[in-house]
Chains A and B, each alone.
Chain A
Amino acid sequence: MDAILEAHELCKQYEGFSIDHLSLNIFAGSILGVFGPNGAGKTTLIKLLAGQIMPIAGAVRVFHQDYDASEKEIKDRIGYCPQEPPFFPNKSLVELARFAAPFFSKWDGALFYGLLERFRIHPEKRFSLLSSGQKTLFSLALALAHHPDLLLLDEPASGLDDANRRFLIEMVRDFVAGGEKAVLVSSHVSDGLDELAEQVLFIRAGKSIMTADKVDLLANWKWIHFRDHALEPTLVAKLTALRHHPFGNSGLTSDFQALCAGLAGAMAAGDAQVENARLSDVLVHLTQGG
């Protein structure tokens, strides 16, 4: 598979916070979801990938090029949608678009205004008067309007209503459907964008704690609910996040395939049940150590 973006051992240091030797690849035709608790470094990571800030160590290559040598060419092909767009708040959307357009070789005004119309945002409106969801949508329209090959979306679902979130999800899926473009999306798992990601990267305190294929991950992480004494103690010892209550027990496994045989008897007798874990269960377990 062709990696559209390769980040190798990225480091960035701030007062009281650092990105610590973080590596990742984004492959053509794929959607990478970056998940982590508040303050984990999602936004800093995306800024590094988008070339908005420079790492103190490590390297980012996008479209097989370096920012040092080809910043303009790379940024021309990236649709970066920041969480807090650095726009002049008193300018109208038309003025902001006119300001942005010359930076991009493939700027498509018709697409931009078409998207604003779709989002029911009046182009003459001043940026500061938009609601927080509309700001996100405007930023998204700006990111899409120059036909990028890589979208870097920082919490794009924040403030969106359900219909616009649906639109975002479908738009991202269509975007990668051709197999040549790719998307990185950071999100809180509970905002509904977890269903979008095919690859997942969990980060905590600036470090990568897991990278996986979502389908494989969820095939292995399951909740096991079981009656008291229904399972071998050695099997129970392998479960985490164990909870005992008067009507049963629950535990989380990260390796369901290995437990299958040991569970079969109790499941057949109705004394154990398996439930799919959600991405948020995995994330909370890995990041809160719960």
Chain B
Amino acid sequence: MFITLSPASPDPLYKQIADQIRDAIAVGDLAVNESLPSIRELCEALKTSAITVKRAYFDLEKEGCIITRAGLGSYVAEVDLLRLRERKLAEFRKEIARLVSTGAKFNISRDDLVQLIASTKED
């Protein structure tokens, strides 16, 4: 798993952690039932405070992405991957709305954007 925190981002640190763990689950970097790093391990690696990591885990648990058991730590829950995909799609919709309106300013049409996407290679 790859997690990086950006102090310059407007997103609070706990949200940055939660978003990246959720993404890691969605793309299969973290499998169901896989153990998550301990809070202590994460704070040491990311040089952040325990309360930040706790908040991230708390939010992920509330969403049903992870399960925390006293003494056992946290592990990945049986998540509905479709729901995580929906969530990502909602983010994409916002991004695309932004692209469409910026494009309109510069005379780049929806069709142009569609073509751009079609011609962009996946790697």
Contact = CB atoms under 8 A, between A and B. Distances in A.
Interface of A: 225-228, 230, 245-248, 250, 265, 268-269, 271, 273, 275-276
Contacts of B42: 247
Contact of B123 (A245, A250, A269, A276): A269
Nearest to B37: A246
Contacts of B4: 225, 247-248, 250, 273, 275
A226 B6 CA distance: 13
B32 interface: no
Interface residues of B, number: 13
A245 B46 contact: yes
A248 B2 contact: yes
Given A269-B123, A271-B2, A247 B8 contact: no
Contacts, number: 35
B40 to A, nearest CB: 12
A245 B6 contact: no
B68 to A, nearest CB: 19
16 contacts: A226-B2, A227-B2, A246-B1, A246-B45, A247-B1, A247-B37, A247-B42, A247-B46, A248-B3, A248-B4, A268-B123, A269-B123, A273-B4, A273-B6, A275-B4, A275-B6
A265 B122 CA distance: 11
B78 interface: no
Contacts of B2: 226-228, 230, 247-248, 271
Most buried by B among A225, A246, A269: A246
B45 A247 contact: yes
B11 interface: no
